[in-house]
Every structure is written in structure tokens, then in C-alpha cells.
Structure 1
């Protein structure tokens, strides 16, 4: 188990704990957040090319809401690219477990895909009473190590009984990730031997967004992290496949609801290297 406190200038002082080694389920990463300084009260959830599951483990509610009016609490699933979602806490301290699931894992363990595109959903609606039982076990656990094991076991049970993505959809997703969202859909259609209409339909049904939107999300994620690393918007636009800086600005506004300069200083990006270390992070 690895624990660290984010302490750079402008970064909230969250204690972040991650597993000491990758779990046995590819495409799953976990991080535990403890906030004793009440800095998790109002933070934007910058879109990332994974499905996010949050278990609230604190004594007071931590609410996730978006600009479409959806509000979920305690056990929340945020689909790919939720509509400008924010976390809002109301306690003097907060604690939560966050899971990031690749679409391949999410399709199997959540039993929903198209329903999750850009939305917030209660985990209870997908897992029923098992969502509450899992949260109760997580809260009763003696350590973060135990919590990670409980969460992984819950995911593994459902993965074993879940549905696999079409091989063509999985291949297309991985090609998008490998190209950082810059591969053209026409090339994917040629490589998998499907029609454009069939790829569009199957991908949307199993991943939750269209291939074009997913490619844009992956490209945005790469650009957002480059911005957070201190690179100029002009350089990021040129290196990330955007036509120009205005194109980057439009995409960042569409996904995050803020300018590239504002995205660059968002707390969730600033702590990514702590909460989701490169050797563990996976969207595959």
C-alpha cells in the first residue's frame, strides 16, 4: 500500500492511498481519499476516459452533481464524460474510495453501457442491495488495504459473470487509446471489417458514447494533462492533434466547461500522479 499527501502549491491537502501493486483485474485502478482539512467540499471532476465508481466512506454525505440537474450520493457511478460533474462535501472531514474502470471492465461489472454515456447513476440501480452491502463492508474494514481487497473481490465476482465487449469494439477502443484519440474512424472500419454504421451502433451500445466522441475524450484527456504539466495551450494544441489553439479551446470548454488555463490548475489533475501512478493506471 502506498500513501502520500498532495502538498504542492495550489493542490488540496488530501491524503491519498493506493494499492502497493496492480490488482488482478486489468483495466481497474483504485485510490482512497481522506480529507481532514475540508478541501473536498467543491471540486470539479475533470472528464477521464474511464467509468468512475465512488463509495462515500465518511460520516456525512458527499454529493456528486452535474449541470443537468442529476445528484447522486454515497454510491455513485459517473459514466464516460459526465456533464460537468462536481463533488460537494458537507462535513469537516471526508473519506471515499474511487475506482476507475476501463469500458471493457465497466461493461462486465456494471451490467450497463449505453445508459452510462455522460451520466451520473446510483450504483444501487445497477447492483441492487449488493451495492449497499459492499459499502458497509468497506466502511467496516480496518485498513485501506482491506478496502482495496473488498472492492476488487466485488468487481471480480461480477466480471466473471458479466458480458464481454465485442472483440471489434475492444480492438477499436485500444487503437484509440494507443493513438491518443487521433485515429480516424474510417481506418478502424477498414481494419475490423465492419460497416461504419455497425461500428457506430455497437460501440455506442457497449461503451456508452460514439467512437468519435470517445476519440475526442481521449484526446482531451491527453491535452488536459499536458496543460496541467505546465505546457502552453499553443504547444499542447499542436502536439495533441488539434487544428489550432481555438480548436483546443472549444474541446476543453465542451468537456470541462472551463478554459484551458482553468483546466490546467484543477486539483484532480494536479494529484493524478499520486492517486493514479503511471505503473498502475490503465484505461485498457
Structure 2
């Protein structure tokens, strides 16, 4: 296990390499006092497993979840926090999420309680995590639960997995029509199967992956014009419109979002989105 590392408000723990699973990233978070931050959309489905003495609260303006939650693929407009928060977060590529969460990734909306997806299994897992001796034991428990559910779940089509993997690898710049031709499917079939299993149309998924790459470059200090060119946007105005559409912010404002400040520590596992 990596040692707890402070990042502003948060203390963060990450698993040892032996706990890593394809298409999965895990991190433990602890904050002392009050915490509240907005969620910048990103191309993964998240499990937030509440381990604190006070409930974790995740809300999207219309709905709120107190306790362990599942945040869908395009979960923008959400805020999360509470007092003395302690939680274990799991990010799942859509390929993995389809198997371990059943239809939630497609049908469940942007936010729901983990117990609504996993039932009593969610309660039992949370109890075992609270009783665990340390973060490494918690990561091991979650890794086993996810591996079992992925084995039992229904995988996505190989063609859908390939297209998602190429979008992740290229940071959303691969041409979707060309990918359809590569897998031997018509455009209509790819759109239908991809949306049914991932929850977004291929081009919307590509936009989200490219946006995620761009905002991380902005948070790292990149100038918007340079980031726009690197990420494959037509120009800086195009980047500005995409950031406003996904996050409701300007490029300079999204670069300062606390949500992004922990990513270099918490979500540095290589290639987890490919799954």
C-alpha cells in the first residue's frame, strides 16, 4: 500500500500493484472536518463506499444519496462531502461496470445507492470493510468482490470492448466510423450495441474521454490554446464550449477545481480505463 498522502484537505491511500485489476482503480480517502466538492465528469463509473462515522452525502440537485453510492458514467453536476468523511472509492471502466453492476451503468441514471444495485451484498461488504485492520485489507476485500461479480456478470461484446479501449487509448480522438469498420459492424449496429452496453453513444463517449484528457492537461498548467491543439479540438473556442457543456465552467476555472487536484495520487494506476 502506498502511504497516506495529503492533498489539500484529503488524505489518500492507494493499493499496492498486486491489488490492481484490469479496468479498475481504487483509492481510500479521509478528510477531517467538513468537506464539500463538485464532481468534474470523467469516463468511469464510481462506487463510493462510505466508511465514516458521519454519512457521506452525494447529490445531483434533484436526488441525494446518504451513504454508499454509485455514480454513473457522465455524472456531472454532482457534489459530494460530509463531515469527517472516510470512504473507499472504486473507478470502473464501462466494460467492467457492465459486468459488475448489471444494467445500472446504462439504466440506473447518474446516481443511486449501492444497496439499490447490490442489495444485501453491499451491506455485508461495507460491514467487512469497516471491520478491516487497514486500507490494504480493504482493497483486498473489494478486489475479491469485484472479481467474483465480474466472473458472474455478463460481459460486453468483444467489439464494444475493443471500441471503448481504442477511445480510451487515443484520448477520444479515434474516428468512430473507422472503428466500426475495424470490428466489421455497420455504424447503426455499433451505435445500438455500444449505447446499450456502455450507456452513451460512441461519439458522446469519445467526447467525454477527450474532455477528461483535456481538463487534466489544464489542471497540470497547460495553456488552453495548447491543450486544445494537443487534445484534437478544432480551436480554443471549441475547447471552451466542450468544458462549458460538460462542467459548466471556463477552462481556467475547471483547472482550479479541487476534484482534479487528487488525481495524480489517487488515480495514477496505468490504463485502468481500458478494462
TM-score range relative to shorter protein:
over 0.9
The question of 1:49 aligning with 2:40 is answered: no
User: How many Å separate the matches in 2 of 1:141 and 1:254?
Assistant: 41
> RMSD in angstroms over aligned alpha carbons?
1.4
The corresponding residue for 1:86 is: 79
The corresponding residue for 1:226 is: 217
Q: Measure how far apart 1:277 and its partner are.
A: 2.1
User: How many Å separate the matches in 2 of 1:150 and 1:50?
Assistant: 21
Q: 1:18 to 1:151 in 2, by over 3 A?
A: same
- Verify the 8 A CA contact 1:5 1:13 in the aligned structure 2: no
Count of residues in Structure 1 that have an aligned counterpart in Structure 2 = 273
The question of 1:122 aligning with 2:151 is answered: no
Q: Measure how far apart 1:6 and its partner are.
A: 3.0
SS in structure 2 of the partner of residue 130 of structure 1: helix
Q: Deviations over 1:63-113 (max 9, x none)?
A: 11114x121121211111113111031x2x110100011111111111123
User: How many Å separate the matches in 2 of 1:214 and 1:242?
Assistant: 15
Q: Measure how far apart 1:242 and its partner are.
A: 0.7
Structure 2 segments unaligned to the other structure (5+ residues) = none
The question of 1:30 aligning with 2:54 is answered: no
- Verify the 8 A CA contact 2:36 2:79 in the aligned structure 1: yes
SS in structure 2 of the partner of residue 6 of structure 1: strand
User: How many Å separate the matches in 2 of 1:167 and 1:135?
Assistant: 32
TM-score with structure 1 length normalisation?
0.92
Aligned with 1:177 (options 157, 168, 172): 168
TM-score with structure 2 length normalisation?
0.95
User: How many Å separate the matches in 2 of 1:240 and 1:84?
Assistant: 23
Q: Measure how far apart 1:207 and its partner are.
A: 0.6
The question of 1:197 aligning with 2:165 is answered: no
